[in-house]
Amino acid sequence: MSDQVVLALTAVTVLALLLFTVAAFKYVPEALREEEEEESEPEQHRPVA
């Protein structure tokens, strides 16, 4: 492969990992907070029989 192709693939991969990391730090804490709220307030979520 030519150097330009390798450079382009590397840039795309780095950008994808960067976006994934930002999204993970942005959304994971919200999900953890929601789980903690569910555990502290189990009355809201009734199991389906």
Query: Would residue 48 count as lying in a domain?
Result: no
Q: What is the pLDDT of residue 41?
A: 56
Q: What is the pLDDT of residue 9?
A: 98
pLDDT per residue over 1-49, tens digit each?
Answer: 799 999 999 999 999 999 999 998 888 777 777 776 665 555 566 666 6
Query: Would residue 47 count as lying in a domain?
Result: no
Q: What is the pLDDT of residue 10?
A: 98
Q: Distance between CA 27 and CA 10 in Å, rounded?
A: 26
Q: What is the pLDDT of residue 4?
A: 97
Can you give the residue range of the structural domain that contains 1?
A: 1-41
Query: Would residue 1 count as lying in a domain?
Result: yes
